[in-house]
Amino acid sequence: MDIVIAFVALVFAYLVRFDAKEIPFDQELEIFKKGLPVFLLVRGGVFYVFGIFKGIIRHTSFEDMKRVFLSVTFGTLILFFISFTKHFYFETSFLFPTTVIFAEYFICIFLLIVVRIAVKLIYVEGLKDNKKMIPTVIYGAGIYGLITKHTLEKDTRLNSNVICFIDDDEKMIKNRLEGLKIGHTSSLEKIIKKRGIKRLIVAIKRPNNINKRKVIDICLANNVEVLNVPDPRQWIDGTFSSKQIKPIKIEHLLGREPIKLDKDLLDDEFRNKTILVTGAAGSIGSEIVRQLTHYQPKKVIMLDQGESPLYDLQMELKENNKIHLTETVIGDIRNHKRLENVFKTFKPQIVFHAAAYKHVPLMEDNPSEAILTNVQGTKNLVDLAHKYKVEKFVQVSTDKAVNPTNVMGCSKRIAEIYAQSMNEKSTTKYITTRFGNVLGSNGSVIPLFKRQIEAGGPVTVTDKKITRFFMTIPEACQLVLEAGLMGEGGEIFVFDMGESVKIYDLALKMIKLSGLEVDKDIKIKITGLRPGEKLYEELLANEENTMPTHHPQILKAKVRTYNFENIEKEINELTNMFGKQINDNIVIKMKQIVPEFISNNSTYSKFDKNDNNTNTN
């Protein structure tokens, strides 16, 4: 086929040479006949060497076109060489007139490429079912947007008909990309209504998260399906296919600009250090371990009582060639002897304490376990960090410790108080970090909603007004690392969480992102507040205020101080009640230690009035 095209190009070149007028056949036909075998041999030979016929025509790419260009150029140079050699060394006529060879060169390239593009277009259009094609807009007019468009054209499984692009960059507006208009993200709603858009694909490398959320909100409000192109690092073997285009995740609506850390300072802080991470198999603990391994520590001691999740983390680190930086220890922070053996053996210089019981309803029913793990377990670690002269002790706390309304929050507040009071008498720097709900962590609301949606509903929300702060797991762990870096001891660091999110709205968006309709496909059921649950979370107590730090997203809480001997005595009395007292007595004692602990929607609310009067007096 290519040789036939080259022959046609030669004939056209003759027509151009003689302006399509009558060709002097006697002389020119003789030259044409003598030169044609050489021409076909050269063209055919060069085509064979360059392998231009091996490309699958329906998938013609830029590389195929480049190969065509190089093969025709090389073949033309050979033809010129033969023609001039024949004329000047053998004193005969040229192989072909020089203008014919020139014209044939350009016509041949043009025809070879046009035929390939035509076959590709016919193939692609033939695959399309125009009745089922979904009007689609691509968010991102950069390289990833272009790759996405090409992928959709080659692989029609998604049946997407790309109508236009949108982008945050105003400089690109009103331009065209491969013939398609580029609009600004602010004009998306107009484009949806005007062009009947039914699908949007997010294909932008570094989107402005505020704009991205607005775009997705507009799509959800207009029943437009939202899909997402994964990060190029997640492309299979470096290639991208339409199979990798997945529905947008709710995390993309809640995540904000990531925290920017000074990696050099973190490297100085953690390099060649022995670091103990408790709760290492949990959502936060495991991410702390992952991030610490980037800073070349001497050893990260991964301590957890969960055998299976700890094994999974161990296998992950092995696959990522990080296992040599870690040591795995099965252990319970409530077991003082086991912990002492860990401190004595490994002599950690830094401790990140992320082990805790965290589920509010469960701890409301089991206050004795809450104090044994969250209070006694933390006390064990705080005491041993002091005894073995640990440099820094960074405790992971929660926004539920602020003006606690439940047993879990109060137990975490008591743990905060003990660490702060120990800081006054120890050379170890005790630091606390507080943050809200972590997206995707074990037991968080998002995995629950996902399971409920997959099961056909209903999606359960405790109250229409209930709100929560959210952050991603990497964000939370970056905060912990930054606290370990900047902390001088005794501080409680809080994160600028932005605006709180209505859980009911979160449920609505997750249902819509699943391609379902509320009430029609999935119902939302209001179940009522659970024991100890707040409508609104707080990050600072009434008697606390904040001070800025060198990091704009991290604030330092100014908190009241406590006498170590007094608080130690109170905590010892509390923990000694384990197994000896009923739950009511344990909770009463907790309320005495933390006067601001006012139970909400709980059986323990009956103790608040008397307790508060006693504490006030």
The predicted-structure confidence for 147-200, as pLDDT tens digits, reads as follows 888 887 776 666 788 889 988 888 888 788 888 888 888 888 999 998 888 888
Would you put residue 347 in left (φ > 0), alpha (ψ -120 to 50) or beta? Answer: left
Q: Across residues 479-505, what is the average pLDDT?
A: 80
pLDDT level of residue 539 (50, 70, 90 thresholds): low
Give the bridge partners for 162, in sequence order.
136
How do residues 312-339 score in pLDDT, each as one tens digit? 999 999 998 999 999 999 999 999 999 9
| Element of type H or E holding 217 | helix 209-221
> What three-state secondary structure class fits 114?
helix
Contacts of residue 493, defined as CB under 8 A and 6 or more positions apart, other chains included, come to 431, 432, 433, 434, 479, 482, 483, 486, 487, 549, 554, 555, 556, 557
The pLDDT assigned to 22 comes to: 58
The pLDDT assigned to 131 comes to: 55
Active site residue 171: no
From 149, 400, 534, 591, the catalytic residue: 400
| Element of type H or E holding 302 | strand 299-304
Which residue matches tokens 């120990």?
422
How many helical (H) and strand (E) elements, i.e. helices and strands, does the chain have?
A: 22, 22
The pLDDT assigned to 236 comes to: 47
How do residues 64-81 score in pLDDT, each as one tens digit? 788 888 888 888 888 888
Lowest-pLDDT choice from 19-28, 80-89, 135-144: 19-28
Q: Which amino acid is residue 42, in one-letter code?
A: V
The pLDDT assigned to 611 comes to: 42
CA distance linking residue 315 with residue 363, whole number of Å: 31
The pLDDT assigned to 497 comes to: 65
The pLDDT assigned to 440 comes to: 60
Would you put residue 601 in left (φ > 0), alpha (ψ -120 to 50) or beta? Answer: left
The pLDDT assigned to 617 comes to: 29
Q: Which amino acid is residue 432, in one-letter code?
A: T
pLDDT level of residue 304 (50, 70, 90 thresholds): very high
How do residues 222-248 score in pLDDT, each as one tens digit? 888 888 887 655 554 445 666 677 777
User: Which one is predicted more confidently, 187 or 438?
Assistant: 187
For the chain, how many residues are written?
617
- C-alpha distances (whole Å) from 557 to each of 496, 554, 576 are 12, 10, 31
Burial status of residue 547 (CB atoms within 10 A of its CB: 0-12, 13-18, 19 or more): exposed
pLDDT level of residue 532 (50, 70, 90 thresholds): low
| Element of type H or E holding 200 | strand 199-202
Q: Across residues 362-367, what is the average pLDDT?
A: 91
DSSP string, 478-526: HHHHHHHHH--SS-EEEE---S-EEHHHHHHHHHHHTT--BTTTB-EEE
User: Which one is predicted more confidently, 36 or 460?
Assistant: 460
Half-sphere exposure of 284 (CA within 13 A, CB side): 31
Tell how strand 180-184 and strand 225-228 pair up: unpaired
CA distance linking residue 521 with residue 525, whole number of Å: 13
Residue-range domains of the chain with CATH: 2-126 (no CATH), 134-248 (3.40.50.720), 263-438+470-496+539-579 (3.40.50.720)
Q: Across residues 556-584, what is the average pLDDT?
A: 85
Whether the predicted pLDDT of 49 surpasses 90: no
Helix, strand, coil shares, percent, the chain, to 5: 55, 15, 30
CA distance linking residue 164 with residue 176, whole number of Å: 9
How do residues 374-421 score in pLDDT, each as one tens digit? 999 999 999 999 999 999 999 999 888 888 989 999 999 999 999 999
Q: How large a percentage of the chain has pLDDT more than 90?
A: 27
CA distance linking residue 339 with residue 316, whole number of Å: 25
Q: How large a percentage of the chain has pLDDT more than 70?
A: 85
Query: Across all residues in the chain, what is the average pLDDT?
Result: 82
Tokens of 152: 């959709």
How do residues 238-277 score in pLDDT, each as one tens digit? 456 666 777 777 766 665 565 666 677 888 889 999 999 9
CA distance linking residue 456 with residue 471, whole number of Å: 27
Tokens of 557: 């809480």
CA distance linking residue 549 with residue 493, whole number of Å: 9
| Contact status, residue 549 vs residue 493, Cβ threshold 8 Å | yes
CA distance linking residue 351 with residue 337, whole number of Å: 17
Would you put residue 456 in left (φ > 0), alpha (ψ -120 to 50) or beta? Answer: left
pLDDT level of residue 538 (50, 70, 90 thresholds): low
Contacts of residue 597, defined as CB under 8 A and 6 or more positions apart, other chains included, come to 404, 405, 409, 410, 413, 590, 591
506-521 burial code (b ≥16 CB/10 A, e <16): bbbbbbbbbeeeeeee
* Phi, psi values for residue 599, rounded to 5°: -65, 145
Whether the predicted pLDDT of 88 surpasses 80: no
The pLDDT assigned to 71 comes to: 87
* Phi, psi values for residue 123, rounded to 5°: -65, -50
pLDDT level of residue 570 (50, 70, 90 thresholds): very high
> What three-state secondary structure class fits 546?
strand
Q: Across residues 294-312, what is the average pLDDT?
A: 93
CA distance linking residue 540 with residue 556, whole number of Å: 10
